[in-house]
Structure 1
Amino acid sequence: MNLYKKLAIQTIIYSIGSIFPKIINYALLKFFTISLKREEFSLYTDMYALSFLVIGFLSFGLENTYFRFLYKKNYNKEIVFSTGVIIQLFITSCFFIIAINSIKYLVFIAGYHNHPEYFFMFFLIIFSDSICILPMAWLRAHDRPFKHTIINVFNILIQSFIIIYMFYCSNNLYIKKTCFFSIFEWINSFTDKIGYIFFANMISSFSNLFLVLPIIFKKVTVKKFNKILAKKMLNYGIPIMLGTISFSINENLDKILIKRWVSDEINGSYSACYKIASFINMYIRIFRLGIEPFFFKKSEDSDAKYYFEEITYIFILFGLIFYVLICSNLTLLIEFFIDKKYHLAISIIPIIMMANLFLGIYTNLSIFYKIIDKPIIGTYISFIGVLITFLFNIIFIIIPNNSFMIPAWGTFSSYGCMLIILYIWGKKNFSNFFKKIINIIIHFILAIFIVFIINKKKEILFSFFFQFLYLIIVFFFEKKRLMNFIK
């Protein structure tokens, strides 16, 4: 089968498993912004922001490490998987024991002394999700996109059902008397409306763990644990883990600070609009799920650079198309996805969306230093990104008006600088790709220009005309490449 066709088929299957949960989450976003006050939504997003910092640490970069060592010729695939899972189980178990014993102090430091149950539930979520990382990667590596997709879809359905059930019970007197009210009473006895969301996530995480346990039981044994390999995997994974933590800081520091420095109401609006801007991450994740294992498989081939170049170029091209279509129809989309009381921070969306596209391109190009076993390069670049994020957020704290646009531009600058630095480094080693940098810059300028004039004019017919014109221009200049990709 043609490599592009196989890649496209796998990407479509993974897309279902990635798009459907995201669609459900965006449907729930509308539900949450209607049902929750802005300060309540701020608590909801803040807990996830804090948890992402922890998950970044616990991942230890083992997913990328697993893919890298899996395709090295001198390592047995089963030994690589067993060693990785045992490392993950050890790290995660240590975290859970320490976290449970320190819960009182953590709750006090974070300012959640009235809701220790939030933290307990999140410890269980983090524990379960961390253990599932490598089994889910195993499915991708062994070309099991259907099973990967079924697990993702099943879990999001469970989570959304519990959330809707709990919220509906709390608002409907008739349901309280007739429909499994004892379950609602039990959950309601130890948490509140925000806790319903976390409880549903916890059950979904348990479900995910239950579904991947057969892989662990069947493929993982202590006999297959290799100490020397474990050391090499940790040495490879720790720089990636540090980069992941840096990404979590870049992505969540603004929301953590706005909540504590300005107000929960402003943070609620900012966080809701940030989620709309993160819509482009759905495209990025779909592309990554299908392509990352493919990148590693092709890394030893003579034509590897050619495929990296073409696929990355296509990624940027479609990413910019996605950016233009979303930002050009922002007024319609934001009405559809979030309640009007959250529209205060709508101006951050084009900025954060372009920042996320920068990050997506950076993530694709990071394959270059991963396949030459130099993930430390990504760590250094990520640290620079974190410094830029800290700089903008310090300015945000110092300036009296507390404008939430400052952290948004901080995210944009951070990811933009990381991409430029990676370009400068990569130009020496992967010159084939960077010969087309002028074409890429022209595409960026065109996309930003189209979005700018459409949002300045703000007329529907004017907007549709320029979107159509943009698509024609892109197709005209990239017809050959697009046709080759489709074939």
Structure 2
Amino acid sequence: MSNLKKLAGQTAIYGLSSILARSINFLMIFIYTSYLNREVVGSFTGIYALIGFLNIIFTYGMETSFFRFSTGKNLDPKKVYNTTQSLLITTTLIFGSGVFLAAPWLAEVMDYPNQAYLFRWTALILSFDAILAIPFAKLRLTNRAIAFAGAKMINILLNVFFNLLLIVWIPILISNGTMPASFLGYNLEWGVEYILLANLFANGLIIPYVWWIAGFFRFSLDKEILRPMWNYAIPLLFMGLAGVTNELVSRLSFEYLLPENFYPGLNTREAAGIFGTSIKLAILMNLVIQAFKYAAEPFFFGKAADKNSPQLYAQVMHAFIIFCSALMIVISVNLDLVALLFPKNKGYDSAFFIVPVLLMGYLLLGIYFNLSIWFKITDKTNYSFWITLVGAIVSLIAVFTLVPILGYLGGALSTLMCYLVMTGLCYYFGQKHFPIPYQTGKGILYLLLAFGLSYAGFYFQLDSFLLSFIAKNSLIFLFILVIGFSERAQLIEFLKRKQLR
């Protein structure tokens, strides 16, 4: 239990910072939907899907490799840090230059004529992200959760400041005559340009601070460290590419697959903006998964040599499923409250019905992350590639088949189907190579119950808004009661142990 407490404590710190940071970031969606048109929001969805995909190439699994070789290979952690950071800086220069030079081609392919500058800025954002990856990983490895959380918060606040400055404050000052329209070359026609610039400025300014708190490195490419790290990381790169294909392919391709006039009054880029906004509403599930991942990855590796680690991993998984299932219900039954924060005349709430599907998909992704520990600690990372490749194929087939027919729902179902297949495969092979006593039956029942209650709460409505709110949220307590009854034996045992102490 003390191990679970330690993990929970670390997750709480990462989670608190992530909740604050992502909540602030989440609020930017309301800024974008209020001050920018739907087409700009669609551009934001598409370009940031591309950034998410390329980000995997720029870091190519080196964060996980850094954890593995800093903790379990009898190597000097400082040498591992120096080598990993040096390698990433070298490859970032290569990859960043490639994207920068390919900007005109990317602008043409993604239908942004005469806007190659957008993709040159994208190259810089990706480069800044990559050279920050290992310093942030070092803070996690050394259990400096507060320093990590502080740096992340500063980065988010800088991003928010520049977004507000460029999208809200300067246009207001220009409109009331306080500032000349040509101030510093400001362009009132720009939209997604300022979202990218805000991100670029925020990431660039945080680099010196993160390098300072993590500890500066000495440029070194130690071949004895590089070769095994490279062999370990390459399967993770392909796993990451397949995984990000699963996560982002629907966002990246939605506007190009959706037939014209599928949704009356919307062009395909506007519809993509509405679809992307609904995906953002599932951000809380991703937030919990990310916070958990930050704490759990070094924790899992640190406990790998413990003979009781399988039981510990099973306990972590069970607690994760219960918590995230409850969270799915909380978000789903309160989507009508969230809808009040969006401009009613822009129709963003028309796709909210896909949010429970997306939440379940991301919950399965979190379960997959828990399951994936078996191939990470047994150095069988080649399995990760094949599993995520199958997931990517499922995702691509689903997107190309379902989006033209079902629109928003087709994109959401592609996410759910992909992670369901990946989770099943990872569980099957994991139990063969590194058996862990998961409470599989209970876990599946909890997931199905939570999904059913989520949709019941989403569609249930009464004439009174207050009574409707109470009735919807009573489903959360119903779920908790079911869990309490099902887990009563474990709860009694836990309370007895507390009394003995």
Which category of TM-score, normalised to the shorter sequence, fits these structures?
over 0.9
Partner in structure 1 of residue 465 of structure 2: none
CA RMSD of aligned residues (A): 2.4
| Percent identity of equivalent pairs | 26
Cα distance in 1 for partners of 2:215, 2:484 equals: 50
CA deviation vs aligned residue, 1:63-103 (integer Å, no higher than 9, x gap) = 01111111114211111111111111111010122222332
Label 1:244 to 1:337 Cα distance change in 2 as closer, same or farther (>3 A): farther
Question: Equivalent residue for 2:107?
Answer: 107
Q: Which residue of 2 aligns with 1:280?
A: 285
> Do 2:42 and 2:269's aligned partners in 1 also have CA atoms closer than 8 Å?
yes
Does 2:473 align with 1:464?
Answer: yes
Decide whether aligned partners of structure 1 residues 94 and 144 sit closer, same or farther in structure 2, where only a CA change above 3 A counts: same
Q: Is the 8 A contact 2:357 2:413 kept in 1?
A: yes
Gap change, CA 1:463 and 1:114, over 3 Å in 2: same
Indicate the residue corresponding to 1:204 in structure 2: 202
Match of 1:221 in 2: 219
For the Cα contact (< 8 Å) 1:115–1:191, is it kept in 2?
no
Equivalents in 2 of 1:134, 1:187: separation in Å? 36
Is contact 1:385–1:414 with CA below 8 Å preserved after alignment? Answer: yes
Return structure 1 stretches of 4+ with deviation > 3 angstroms.
173-179, 336-340, 429-432, 479-487
Q: CA 1:358/1:402 → structure 2, altered by over 3 Å: closer, same or farther? A: closer
Match for 2:252 among 242, 252, 256? 256
Residue-by-residue CA offset, 1:102-127 (whole Å, 9 max, x unaligned): 32222222222232221121111100
1:365: which partner in 2? 371
Say if 2:388 is the partner of 1:406.
no
Aligned to 1:475: 484
Aligned counterparts of 1:467 and 1:346: Cα–Cα separation in 2: 19
Compute the displacement of 1:257 (Å): 2.0
Q: Distance in 2 between matches of 1:176 and 1:154?
A: 31
Aligned equivalents of 1:217 and 1:464: distance in 2? 47
Relative distance call for 1:453 and 1:341 in structure 2 (3 A) is: closer
Q: Distance in 1 between matches of 2:489 and 2:297?
A: 24
Please give the per-residue CA displacement for 1:399-454, whole angstroms capped at 9, x wherever unaligned.
Answer: 5x5623222211111110110111111222343423x2111122122212322333
Partner of 2:262: none
Assess if the C-alpha contact under 8 Å between 2:58 and 2:91 holds in 1.
yes
* Secondary structure at 2:340 match in 1: helix
Moved more, 328-337 or 255-264: 328-337
* Aligned residue number for residue 388 of structure 1: 394
Aligned to 1:27: 27
Does the CA contact (< 8 Å) of 2:139 and 2:214 recur in 1? no
Separation in 1, partners of 2:215, 2:289: 32
Aligned to 2:261: none
Deviation readout 1:307-362 (Å, 9 max, x if unpaired) = 11111111111010111111122222233367552112112111111001001110
Find the residue that maps to 1:218 and give its secondary structure: coil
Q: For residues 174 and 103 of structure 1, what CA distance do their matches in structure 2 show?
A: 31
1:332 aligns with 337
* TM-superposed deviation, 1:20: 1.2
Q: Which residue of 1 aligns with 2:12?
A: 12
Unpaired runs of at least 5, structure 2: 259-267, 463-467
Instruction: Provide the secondary structure at the position in 1 that maps to 2:216.
Output: helix
Q: Which whole-Å CA distance do the structure 2 matches of 1:365 and 1:119 have between them? A: 36
CA distance in 2, matches of 1:128, 1:338: 34
Structure 1 stretch 272-281 or stretch 111-120: which is displaced more?
111-120
Aligned pairs (5 A) from 1:342-357? 342-357=348-363
CA shift, 1:267, in A, is: 0.7
Q: Which range is displaced more, 213-222 or 424-433?
A: 213-222
Residues 217 and 429 of structure 1: CA distance in aligned 2, closer, same or farther (over 3 Å)? closer
Query: Residue 341 of structure 2: SS of its match in structure 1?
Result: helix
1:165-216 residue CA offsets vs partner (Å, 9 max, x unmatched): 112244324687547x79x833525981221111110011112212122367
**Is the 8 Å Cα contact of residues 169 and 176 (structure 1) preserved in structure 2?**
no
Contact conserved, 1:389 with 1:410, CA < 8 A, in 2?
Answer: yes
Distance 1:187 1:367 in 2: 51
Q: Could you list the per-position Cα deviations for residues 15-72 of structure 1 after superposition, in whole angstroms to 9, with x for gaps in the alignment?
A: 2321111001111111111112111100011110111111111111000111111111
Q: TM-score, normalised by structure 1?
A: 0.92
Report the equivalent of 2:381. Answer: 375
Q: Is the CA contact (8 Å cut-off) linking 1:129 and 1:209 kept in structure 2?
A: no
> What residue number does 1:423 align with?
427
**C-alpha separation in 1, matches of 2:2 and 2:440:** 27
The 5 Å alignment of 1:225-244 reads: 225-244=221-240
**Deviation (angstroms), 1:292:** 1.4
Is 2:171–2:188's contact at 8 Å kept on the other side of the alignment?
Answer: no
Indicate yes or no: 2:458 matched with 1:449: no
Q: Distance in 1 between matches of 2:127 and 2:207?
A: 10
User: Judging changes above 3 Å, is the alpha-carbon distance between structure 1 residues 393 and 8 closer, same or farther for their aligned structure 2 residues?
Assistant: closer
Q: What is the aligned residue count?
A: 480
Equivalent runs, 1:84-103 vs 2, <5 Å: 84-103=84-103
Report if aligned partners of 1:274, 1:352 keep a CA contact under 8 Å in 2: yes
| Pair 1:315 & 2:320 matched | yes
Per-residue deviation, residues 232-285 of structure 1 (Å, max 9, x unmatched): 111111111111111221122112222123301111111101111232111111
